[in-house]
């Protein structure tokens, strides 16, 4: 991802640039994602806009998980979607860990600031919410994901299996929310 604004108008170029960078022909990528070479060309040249599903399939096929985050951000698929960290900033796991460590330090300082702010709140007293401190906490999300993406790139860790294992463990220890059908309904 180059240093340009992320937008729907540039995603076609990101798709083409990444395909070329990964040395995939249009035909080869088309076979992987179920599209013809002509459809791939039309997408890359901006004649057709990609759907979020197609863009996610495209970037997943190329192993470009930061770009999947980009799709979530551009298409506003979740209220907490964030612009991804450029993968060049986290080319290896060592860099990613150093970046995440720095972000954690900033987040811990911000948590202290938020605790102080909360302790000073009084009924009827108007105060500004320390949004910069909340931003430092928010920034942990992309930093953490970027570190896991570097783990995948460098060591081939299957992120889907890892996530599924960790989710099952969280469900079994009741840390995560169970799926709706697993919840017990209580009659009142």
Domain endpoint, select from 25, 46, 74 = 74
The per-residue pLDDT for 119 is 94
Range of the domain at 94: 87-157
Do residues 43 and 15 touch, judged by C-beta distance below 8 A? yes
Q: Considering the chain, what is the average pLDDT of its residues?
A: 88
pLDDT band at 10 (very low <50, low <70, confident <90, very high): confident
Residue 103 placed within a domain: yes
pLDDT band at 124 (very low <50, low <70, confident <90, very high): confident
Give the CATH number of the domain where residue 36 resides.
1.10.260.40
* pLDDT of 101 over the 90 cut: yes
The pTM score is 0.75
In this structure, are 57 and 92 located in the same domain?
no
Please report, rounded to a whole number, the percentage of residues in the chain having pLDDT higher than 70: 90
The per-residue pLDDT for 184 is 52
The per-residue pLDDT for 25 is 96
Structure tokens at 17: 């640039």
Give the SS3 label for residue 150: helix
How far apart CA 30 and CA 17 sit, in angstroms, is 15
Residue 180 placed within a domain: no
**Residue 187 burial class via C-beta count within 10 angstroms: exposed 0-12, middle 13-18, buried 19 and up:** exposed
Domain count, the chain: 2
In this structure, are 64 and 94 located in the same domain?
no
Average pLDDT of the residues in 59-86: 88
In this structure, are 94 and 120 located in the same domain?
yes
The per-residue pLDDT for 2 is 45
Domain endpoint, select from 30, 45, 74 = 74
The per-residue pLDDT for 169 is 85
* pLDDT of 180 over the 80 cut: no
The per-residue pLDDT for 3 is 44
* pLDDT of 157 over the 80 cut: yes
* pLDDT of 172 over the 60 cut: yes
How far apart CA 19 and CA 33 sit, in angstroms, is 12
Residue 65 placed within a domain: yes
Residue 176 placed within a domain: no
């Amino acid at each position: 991802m180059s240093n340009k604004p992320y937008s729907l108008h540039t995603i076609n170029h990101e798709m083409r640039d990444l395909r070329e960078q990964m040395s995939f022909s249009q035909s080869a990528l088309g076979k992987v994602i179920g599209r013809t070479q002509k459809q791939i060309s039309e997408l890359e040249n901006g004649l057709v806009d990609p759907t979020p599903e197609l863009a996610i399939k495209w970037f997943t096929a190329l192993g470009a998980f930061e770009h999947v985050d980009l799709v979530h951000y551009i298409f506003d698929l979740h209220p907490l979607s964030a612009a991804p960290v450029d993968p060049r900033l986290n080319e290896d796991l060592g860099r990613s860990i150093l970046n995440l460590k720095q972000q954690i330090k900033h987040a811990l300082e911000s948590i202290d600031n938020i605790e102080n702010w909360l302790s000073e709140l009084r009924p009827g007293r108007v105060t500004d919410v320390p949004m910069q401190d909340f931003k430092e906490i928010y920034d942990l999300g992309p930093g953490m994901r970027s570190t896991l993406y570097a783990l995948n790139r460098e060591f081939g860790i299957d992120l889907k299996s890892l996530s599924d294992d960790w989710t099952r463990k969280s469900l079994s220890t009741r840390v995560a929310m169970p799926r709706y059908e697993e919840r017990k309904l209580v009659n009142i």
